[in-house]
Chains A and B, each alone.
Chain A
Amino acid sequence: MEGNIADMGQLIGAGLAAIGSGVAAIGVGNVAGNYLAGALRNPSAAASQTATLFIGIAFAEALGIFAFLVSLLLMFAV
């Protein structure tokens, strides 16, 4: 297992960027969990808020996708 230090930096950076995916997962879970908590308290209003739920999830998830993209760029494009 030999290699130069730049490759190592790339792979470590890619691994660090992958942490972002996990953090985005916390965000998505937060959105969905709060939606569920609200929906259980007032089930009649839940159906009208699914669009907002998906918008919220999409915004939170986008940042995880950005982290994934950074890690892909580090591994294959740099």
Chain B
Amino acid sequence: MEEEAAQAAEGGLSFEPLEVFNLRPLFGHGEVHWYTITNATLWMAIAVLAIFALFVIGTARRSVVPSRSQSIAELIHDFTYKMVEDVAGHEGVKYFPYILTLFLFILFVNVLGLIPTSFAPTSHVAVTAVMALAVFITVTVIGFVKNGAAFLGLFWVKESPLILRPIIAVIEVISYFVRPVSHSIRLAGNVMAGHAVMQVFAAFAAIALIAPLSILAIAAIYGLEVLVAAIQAYVFTILTCVYLKDALHPGH
């Protein structure tokens, strides 16, 4: 590995696809502590400000004929509302603000992360794990508060034969506790994979022979990544809705 680094320093083909995910302090060059303001903090703050601008300033002058920003805000709001209502049912609508918050945050962070030289905080498992754990804890608490011990019926599947039930219960418990892991790694992995692929193709662009092909490929992948950014935000929120539905109606 060290030899490769030396080779890259000499001007050869350098593959550092994971360099873009490095956390750097915004001020100075010290160590990164939990309170250090890094580029991740900056881009999350920008995302929050953008959401604020769209939803608070955009809808400040509410009119019957909506302005552009107002109609975008209404579009996102109605889309998420319909999703919550369809998947989690009428009882789930109570938790709609939380789900809209998650959706907007992930969507904006993903899309802002696609701007060249910017940073995508959702590519870090630390960021997505906090969101996934928050969903996991919220959903579990809601399940126990709403249903009491009946929530454990989620693991004791009544429809299956009695002999199989203990085995299915073990599998269900495992799959329940794997949820936050897969929930967070799915988002982080997708964003990281997309950005890493673009980095790899960008490294190929240094070779004159295949540079045009590589640039075309980057353009194509970039289009795909815009799609992935939106789809992963959608997937994260819709899975939240599914988990919420499980908590509200544990009887399958």
Residue ranges of A at the interface with B (Cβ–Cβ < 8 Å): 3, 7, 51, 54-55, 57-58, 61-62, 65-66, 68-69, 72, 76
Q: Which secondary structure dominates chain B's binding surface? A: helix
Residue ranges of B at the interface with A (Cβ–Cβ < 8 Å): 1, 3, 18, 83, 86-87, 182, 185-186, 189-190, 192-193, 231, 234-235, 238-239, 242
Shortest Cβ distance from residue A47 to the other chain B in the assembled complex, whole angstroms: 11
For A3, list chain B residues within 8 Å (CB). Answer: 3
Q: When chains A and B are docked, how far (Å) is the Cα of A65 from the Cα of B182? A: 9
Shortest Cβ distance from residue A55 to the other chain B in the assembled complex, whole angstroms: 6
Shortest Cβ distance from residue B116 to the other chain A in the assembled complex, whole angstroms: 22
Q: Which secondary structure dominates chain A's binding surface? A: helix
B186 touches A55 (CB 8 A): no
Taking A51-B83, A51-B238, A55-B238 as contacts, is the C-beta distance between A65 and B1 under 8 angstroms?
no
Sampled A-B contacts (13; CB under 8 Å)? A7-B1, A51-B83, A51-B87, A54-B231, A54-B238, A55-B242, A57-B235, A58-B235, A61-B190, A62-B182, A62-B189, A65-B190, A76-B18
Closest to A66 in B: B185
Q: When chains A and B are docked, how far (Å) is the Cα of A16 from the Cα of B1? A: 19
Give the top 8 A-B pairs by smallest Cβ distance, nearest first.
A65-B189, A58-B235, A62-B186, A62-B182, A68-B193, A69-B189, A54-B235, A65-B186
Shortest Cβ distance from residue B97 to the other chain A in the assembled complex, whole angstroms: 20
Shortest Cβ distance from residue A18 to the other chain B in the assembled complex, whole angstroms: 11
B1 touches A58 (CB 8 A): no
A55 touches B235 (CB 8 A): yes
Closest to A63 in B: B182
Shortest Cβ distance from residue A23 to the other chain B in the assembled complex, whole angstroms: 15
- A58-B238, A68-B189, A68-B193 given. 4 additional CB < 8 A pairs? A7-B1, A62-B185, A62-B186, A65-B185
Q: When chains A and B are docked, how far (Å) is the Cα of A3 from the Cα of B3? A: 9
Q: When chains A and B are docked, how far (Å) is the Cα of A47 from the Cα of B154? A: 28
For A62, list chain B residues within 8 Å (CB). Answer: 182, 185-186, 189
For A54, list chain B residues within 8 Å (CB). Answer: 231, 234-235, 238
For B242, list chain A residues within 8 Å (CB). Answer: 55
Closest to A3 in B: B3
Q: When chains A and B are docked, how far (Å) is the Cα of A62 from the Cα of B239? A: 12
Closest to B235 in A: A58
Q: When chains A and B are docked, how far (Å) is the Cα of A44 from the Cα of B18? A: 45
For B185, list chain A residues within 8 Å (CB). Answer: 62, 65-66, 69
Shortest Cβ distance from residue B86 to the other chain A in the assembled complex, whole angstroms: 6
Closest to A48 in B: B86
A61 touches B186 (CB 8 A): yes
For B18, list chain A residues within 8 Å (CB). Answer: 72, 76
Taking A7-B1, A62-B182 as contacts, is the C-beta distance between A55 and B189 under 8 angstroms?
no
Closest to A65 in B: B189
Closest to B18 in A: A76
Q: When chains A and B are docked, how far (Å) is the Cα of A69 from the Cα of B125? A: 11
Closest to B178 in A: A62
